Structure 1
């Protein structure tokens, strides 16, 4: 594949947490060649629950898309006979097909915010990948948000984000021959949501049957400025992945990103 064919193609899965796109899209937009949104045409989650996306969101997207980079791909992504994880993987593969076979495929969830997306894109452009290549970044997970009090997990937890000719096997994981691990960090607003949103997430994400969701929700509710120091080894699937929490104070995501960058410089 010639170097000029390595387009930067970004795909987002857009669902009930569509509002987070207003944080994640501006970060990637200037540096992407193509952007695709995958949205269930019947507004169903992977677990079959209904959700709504108001017209005002699509009006915002249209107004934001000044360079005509964004395409919206609607399809049936909920299949009753499949598990939530199987629906997750299926949607990612359908989105990859929609995005076309050439170039770098970056599948980014709406609640993932790169700290240095221009740097990541420039890094991809230095690579000479084969057809079976997947590049990993590292999450900084936003665990809880109480007003301006934000509790983060800063670990080396990796996740796949960029692929050449992806064929996903489990969510974004592929059976790739060449896996490249980087130190680029991504702020992941995974758990820093309102209680109702957390309950919706627990019912509908790909791991919804892998642990006692109700018990874990009760634990999550206990985290605050007085208790966060005592949370140890608390990842719901692999406890050791999340050893402890860090405290930050920020009103907006942009402010938090700046503070996290300064924090990482001091580490």
Structure 2
């Protein structure tokens, strides 16, 4: 017990796992990949996986850490976001309570997972009795909004990303609504930065299918290097969560990482972390939360 267990979800954008698995492989004790046994998305649509992906996975897994977990993750009588939440719960149970249960989406690429794990280990006492002391561990996203001809558009404000928990009483996707412990860790997030066809496919099949801001897609289509400063409030749910876009004249992931490492424009300061964590500690001194699993699980 008290292992570092990392879970991924395999679906229509399976090929992005070639980028998201390698950054965490060395520091994970086990990796679990959840795949619907009938190749159905949370909306009940079929997806296909190129057999070459599984060949790559087998060749890559030199330490025999990776296990594919197949089950029925689509229930037609519940909503896409409930199917999303249910799958994450089932995956975490497979990973085993008593370990750190980390879930990383296929389009999230960790910058320094080793550092994140080192910080997590300071909180291993929360693994002694997870049901009594449930917590979430959060890092931050750098959201790549769109690839354009000359580089990338990115969201100028960082966004929390709830990667890990000790107790999988998820309420919506990875959100348990328990106390959050913020750590200094980043992923680059390609949630929206894909072709228009692939983005529309994602919107029709992801957990947020029924929640998308109707203005979102028009803004995304219009955004380019010349007008990005004029386009505001670009988040796909509540637009104001992502207020502004920035531009970087590089497109390869290693160049993107180098740019943000050198400029430090998205850096999280120790004081910022202290303030966030103190606020969470104080808030949950008296707040009562619902530790129960959702009934539809």
Q: What TM-score do you get using the length of structure 1 for normalisation? A: 0.92
Q: Distance in 2 between matches of 1:153 and 1:201?
A: 19
**Residues 151-200 of structure 1: CA distance to partner in whole angstroms, max 9, x if unpaired?**
11132321211111322111001142x32122322211010001111101
Matched, 1:190 2:191: yes
Matched, 1:31 2:27: yes
Q: Secondary structure at the match of 2:58?
A: helix
Q: Closer, same or farther in 2 for the Cα pair 1:99/1:223, shift >3 Å? A: same
CA shift for structure 1 position 99? 0.9
Of residues 115, 132, 135, the one that matches 1:133 is 135
CA contact (8 A) 1:139 1:155 kept: no
CA shift for structure 1 position 148? 5.1
CA contact (8 A) 2:12 2:49 kept: yes
Comparing 9-18 with 180-189, which one deviates more in the overlay? 180-189
* Unaligned ranges ≥5, structure 1: none
* Matching residue of 2:62: 66
Larger fraction in strand = 1
- RMSD value, Cα: 1.6
* Matching residue of 1:224: 224
**Residues 119-171 of structure 1: CA distance to partner in whole angstroms, max 9, x if unpaired?**
10110112244221211111111110124511111323212111113221110
Q: Closer, same or farther in 2 for the Cα pair 1:97/1:252, shift >3 Å? A: same
CA shift for structure 1 position 218? 2.3
Aligned residues: 261
CA shift for structure 1 position 265? 5.8
**Residues 12-67 of structure 1: CA distance to partner in whole angstroms, max 9, x if unpaired?**
01111111111111100011000000011111111111110011000000000000
* Matching residue of 2:201: 200
CA shift for structure 1 position 74? 0.8
* Matching residue of 1:50: 46
CA contact (8 A) 1:9 1:34 kept: yes
List, as ranges, runs of 4+ consecutive aligned residues in structure 1 with deviation greater than 6 Å.
none
Q: What TM-score do you get using the length of structure 2 for normalisation? A: 0.83
Q: Distance in 1 between matches of 2:198 and 2:24?
A: 25
Comparing 42-51 with 141-150, which one deviates more in the overlay? 141-150
Q: Distance in 1 between matches of 2:138 and 2:266?
A: 23
CA contact (8 A) 2:220 2:234 kept: no
Q: Closer, same or farther in 2 for the Cα pair 1:53/1:266, shift >3 Å? A: closer
Q: Distance in 2 between matches of 1:265 and 1:85?
A: 33
* Matching residue of 2:8: 12
* Matching residue of 1:173: 175
Q: Closer, same or farther in 2 for the Cα pair 1:212/1:127, shift >3 Å? A: closer
CA contact (8 A) 2:216 2:235 kept: no
Q: Closer, same or farther in 2 for the Cα pair 1:136/1:266, shift >3 Å? A: closer
Q: Secondary structure at the match of 2:31?
A: strand
* Matching residue of 1:261: 261
Q: Distance in 2 between matches of 1:14 and 1:62?
A: 15
